[in-house]
Structure 1
């Protein structure tokens, strides 16, 4: 069975009684074309079943696909549960879409192989809260295409959209210290390529490859030099709950040794810690103070307004989008850095 012949722009122009260039301008909604002419072209396209210029041919003419790859480490079902990921994606799409680009979401892991090797993309943006982002940067740079990293480790040839993770976490730790807390623990984002939960100790920190998680650890250490805790598999409420039980469950140690405060490296992790505290009969903030990071809305009736650092996720995404557009146009793009704002919520109180 033969494939149906695809209608062409030339055929549409002939049927509408206009030149191919006029038909192109009319079909794409650009240029000085009379409305009556535009309508004739639309009707001709409808009659012939013409859906628009062949994207493959357009890509060949331009030498580009018109696609920007957005690299996420989690499965999409997990990535889309994190409001911070959604805010950054919205910001990227706002800018790149207006410039005529589409986004291709790529889910990557620490395993062998990478879609980045041959994905049909003109540029890539990497979310830096990942233990393997440096590996992905090397893959993209080998292809010679522009790359932007959000909260990535500063690397040559990479435009970075940064955040004051270290300074912001130090401010959270100082807040807890001012409230009299001395037994404080961390619940971190995913730390390294090994992908396993575990006790946070100096050896684990030395092996860590996630720049964002490390920066937030360093900030806490400036106030609590010997701070320990638990490393998770990422920013989810379930992971925070597991970490909370590991730190707070009576079976994990004597009650007198339990932390009186926990610094969670995301609001979703903080919400999970609070849920674990409730399940163990602990009052927040009476028995346990909890701070988060991000400033996102957490839809959980057990979680009051968090004490947290509010970061500008949407603006970070827009900054990444602007950098990508500039790079694709052959213009210089500079790294930028954003700051977080402290928000006192209902999850911290003076240590008992």
Structure 2
């Protein structure tokens, strides 16, 4: 044996085959008889040989086996968001059988600085996926295209040579807006997702809305308008977290001319508004109706269940995985638009007299 640690050459010699034949036995590819493969595997087991060096295999194939997933928010916040976790779970479950691993990269670049995480520029990856916030000018997308890395954009802006996965959130937001109008609400406020990578907290005006760059936020604002609603106030949250919804709720519900309904662009934001309403002594939905988006199961909000737009989170992650598979085969798959549905809960009711 050539060293204390067995090599593929050692296994090939023990099995009486060439090194190339032994390599085929481990890869499962190429013309090799079943009996020969079994002889190689048996020799490897007897020698306690785990298999060819994966780095060498990657170099020979020209692939890393890695999918770079650029998350549109800080990772520490994304892992507190069930929407992100459930979608990533659906993605990983799809990639596993394909023999692909995931490299998570924070989407830390700002629209003003055009900066990207160094991993976007240098990390080995076969395909990339940008989760949320993608636009044509997105610095991460621009960097990946410069490198020639096939890319999937999730809930972003469609680009000709980029795979696109989205949900019909504009129509879903319009549906929940019409639901509030049918209940008699006319003083309706909205709490939005961030407008860009540098999201901030506070009321926004039309100039601020016109400058937003995150497509997911834009579509849901447009959905409110499609329903025929002109919000009495629009509050931008810096991230989809409960505490930011609570801040928004306190601000919107503390004045004398408070809205009778608040439509939030995520369930975590909406649940924070519910907590703020309780804190202020307001009854939900008798004094104020609150609706969200995502369709999350939030048992800690009991006895309330949010009226919400349900999106297929695991299915969306799986759709991203299938798009990645197509890109690896050299195809740009057609855009995928997944449907959403309205779920009525206990947090919306008739407008107070």
Same fold (TM > 0.5): yes
Change (3 A) 1:45 1:314: farther
* 1:243 maps to 2:248: yes
- The aligned runs of 1:129-140 (5 Å cut-off) are 129=133, 134-140=138-144
- The aligned runs of 1:180-329 (5 Å cut-off) are 180-222=184-226, 223-249=228-254, 253-254=255-256, 257-302=257-302, 304-329=304-329
1:244 Cα deviation from its structure 2 partner: 1.0
Question: How big is the alpha-carbon RMSD for the aligned residues of Structure 1 and Structure 2?
Answer: 2.4
**Once the two structures are superposed, what CA deviation does each residue of 1:284-341 show, in whole Å capped at 9, x if it has no partner?**
1111111111111124244621111111111111111111111111134111111101
Q: Matched residue of 1:140: which SS? A: helix
Cα separation, 2, equivalents of 1:139 and 1:238: 33
- Per the alignment, residue 141 of structure 1 pairs with 145
**Once the two structures are superposed, what CA deviation does each residue of 1:111-137 show, in whole Å capped at 9, x if it has no partner?**
434221111111111112468982221
What TM-score does the superposition give when structure 2 sets the normalisation length? 0.88
CA contact (8 A) 1:131 1:210 kept: yes
CA contact (8 A) 2:204 2:236 kept: yes
**Once the two structures are superposed, what CA deviation does each residue of 1:49-78 show, in whole Å capped at 9, x if it has no partner?**
x44322221111111111111111333332
**Once the two structures are superposed, what CA deviation does each residue of 1:216-254 show, in whole Å capped at 9, x if it has no partner?**
0111123213442210111111111111111112xxx22
Cα separation, 2, equivalents of 1:193 and 1:29: 45
- The aligned runs of 1:103-142 (5 Å cut-off) are 103-111=102-110, 112-114=115-117, 115-129=119-133, 134-142=138-146
Change (3 A) 1:154 1:29: closer
- Per the alignment, residue 54 of structure 2 pairs with 55
- Per the alignment, residue 340 of structure 2 pairs with 340
Match of 1:44 among 34, 43, 46: 46
1:147 Cα deviation from its structure 2 partner: 0.6
Change (3 A) 1:226 1:349: closer
CA contact (8 A) 2:134 2:154 kept: no
Change (3 A) 1:127 1:36: closer
How many aligned residue pairs are there? 341
Change (3 A) 1:45 1:278: farther
- The aligned runs of 1:25-40 (5 Å cut-off) are 27=26, 33=34, 37=39, 40=42
Change (3 A) 1:195 1:6: farther
Any unmatched runs of 5+ in structure 1?
A: none
Cα separation, 2, equivalents of 1:228 and 1:202: 11
Q: Matched residue of 1:125: which SS? A: strand
- Per the alignment, residue 70 of structure 1 pairs with 69
Change (3 A) 1:130 1:186: farther
CA contact (8 A) 1:311 1:339 kept: yes
What TM-score does the superposition give when structure 1 sets the normalisation length? 0.89
